[in-house]
Structure 1
Amino acid sequence: MKPNKRNKPFYKQFLRLRKNIQDRPKLFKFKKQKWQNIQRYSKNQLKFYRRFQVKDQFQSSISKFASRGNSFQKKFRNNLYDRKLFSLFYGGLKRKYLKKHILKSIQTKQYGNGINDFRYQTLQFFESRLDTVLVRSKFCLSFKSSAQLILHGHVLVNSIPITTKSYILKPNDLIEIILNPKSRQLVKKNLDRSNFWPLPPKHLAINYRTLQILFLYTEDSNFIPVFNHYLNLNSIVANIKRS
């Protein structure tokens, strides 16, 4: 009989990418020597003048690797790194899912209000996912807990239970937590544990007393969320087109 394959721990993905892309505080609790470098780097990024620095998603890209070069191998490595970083930033999305929706946003020729950049269209789509909205509003501290809350039917959209974490929200959709004491207590506990950085985006009108979210996404560049990590979308597209 073949031995069962053990899944590697979730946090080893941060170790391979050398970046705490989801800002998980649990990463600092690991005591083995292999975690020391990424812990030191993450603590350095949590300094006051760096922690509250907003990353512009439309700036020119600079590779994380010192020897960027022009060879195919180095370009492929950089593009693959950026694609994995983007996938993990949104909870570990599959490559097939990323390819389908990013290429669809590139083919869209009309962006609205003079916005002719596919990067805005791409970010708008992924920020419209139900699980992403729950994480951005601090109702959930991770994409895993957000998915569990949705799959167990504790989230309502326009008074209708939604059990699909990839549900795409539309403007003026109302998201709320069901009137279940355990569910609401869990969300309030997450709010107490959150440090509220990055700040909840402008396209979410949040009522923390009633635990309701009004989705207000419009075709306006001022509604782009605040990111504390840079996502190189040009590099991601280059990797997806090769695959």
Structure 2
Amino acid sequence: MLGGLHFWFEIRIFMHFIKKRRNKPLYKKFLPLRKNVQNRNKLLWFRKKKWQKFQRAFSRLKKKKLHDPKSYFLSTFKNFFSRKFKYNLQNKQRLSLFYGGFRKKYLKRVVKSTLKEFKSLNKHVTVLFIEKLETRLDTALYRTHFSYSFKNARQLISHKKVYVNNKVVQHNSYLLKKGDVITLDKDVFNFVILNILDSEMWPIPPKHFYVNYKTLQILVIEDIHYTNCLMYYPFWIDFNSFLKFYER
């Protein structure tokens, strides 16, 4: 009798940990942020009843407000410490979700390398941090509308369909430099063309990229400037508090 109870108790514990580790749908991560971080039109067109709560949260958002970098959501909390923690957490979640789900370890590593290089280079810390994220290979494919999401861009890279200076690159975090040329395999030309046609071409590709949509080539022509940084994100993000939080 005791052995049977012990067995069922172990099963309940095992199921409890499985439920915690189970992956939740992507759209549930947007609920606490109250913001369409990835600028997806699908968020406003759910038909199932279980998404009614989600639709109510986003019903007031219009297309004009989706691209307003000055608008942001800040919830109310009891004390200063919980409010500050939630503010930093939402800040991190917005940035992570926008780039397809960066892990905390990767963000910490990027912040530490940014602060080290900042001492030797005459650049603003925020610009240097954004430059490390925006010069990634998967970011370049997403910004130029060659892929409809970061996940799709990473699949193209992992399947050896993307070339940098006529060489296959399989690392998503490959940092591009001025003068680099990105080309694609001919097998994915039709797929990329469909992605470009289906996109709304908003936001417009950054100025440091020269895109030839006939030959499907991307050329890095200049460095990122501070004046263009705010236009890269359709939501509010406090980079100063983010860098201070992950500096530890």
- Asked if the contact 1:21/1:229 (under 8 Å) is kept, the reply is yes
Distance 1:26 1:63 in 2: 21
Which of 198, 205, 213 aligns to 2:210? It is 205
Aligned to 2:184: 177
2:104 matched to 1:109? no
Aligned to 2:4: none
Which of 221, 238, 242 aligns to 1:232? It is 238
Query: Structure 2 unaligned runs (5+)?
Result: 1-10
Identity of aligned residues (%): 36
- Give how far 1:106 is off: 2.2
Which of 76, 93, 98 aligns to 1:89? It is 98
- Asked if the contact 2:127/2:224 (under 8 Å) is kept, the reply is no
Query: Structure 1 unaligned runs (5+)?
Result: 57-61
Higher mean Cα deviation, 6-15 or 75-84? 6-15
- Asked if the contact 1:175/1:214 (under 8 Å) is kept, the reply is yes
After superposition, residues 20-39 of structure 1 pair within 5 angstroms as 20-31=36-47, 32-39=51-58
After superposition, residues 1-243 of structure 1 pair within 5 angstroms as 2-3=14-15, 4-5=18-19, 6-31=22-47, 32-42=51-61, 44=62, 46-47=63-64, 50=65, 53=68, 55=69, 64-65=73-74, 67=76, 71-107=80-116, 108-112=118-122, 115=123, 117-180=124-187, 183-218=188-223, 220-222=225-227, 224=229, 226-227=231-232, 228-241=234-247
**Secondary structure in 2 matching 1:23:** coil
- Give how far 1:222 is off: 4.6
**Secondary structure in 2 matching 1:16:** coil
Q: Which amino acid in 1 is paired with 2:243?
A: V
- Give how far 1:20 is off: 1.1
- Give how far 1:51 is off: 5.2
Instruction: State the Cα deviation string for residues 160-186 of structure 1 (Å, max 9, x = none).
Output: 111111111111110011122xx1111
- Give how far 1:36 is off: 1.6
Instruction: State the Cα deviation string for residues 181-236 of structure 1 (Å, max 9, x = none).
Output: xx111100000011111110000000000000001232643554723222211221
TM-score (norm 2): 0.83
- Asked if the contact 1:83/1:239 (under 8 Å) is kept, the reply is no
**Higher helix proportion:** 2
Aligned pairs, how many? 227
RMSD over aligned CA atoms reads 2.3
Q: Which amino acid in 2 is paired with 1:38?
A: A
Higher mean Cα deviation, 64-73 or 201-210? 64-73
Distance 1:219 1:191 in 2: 23
Q: Which has the larger radius of gyration?
A: 2
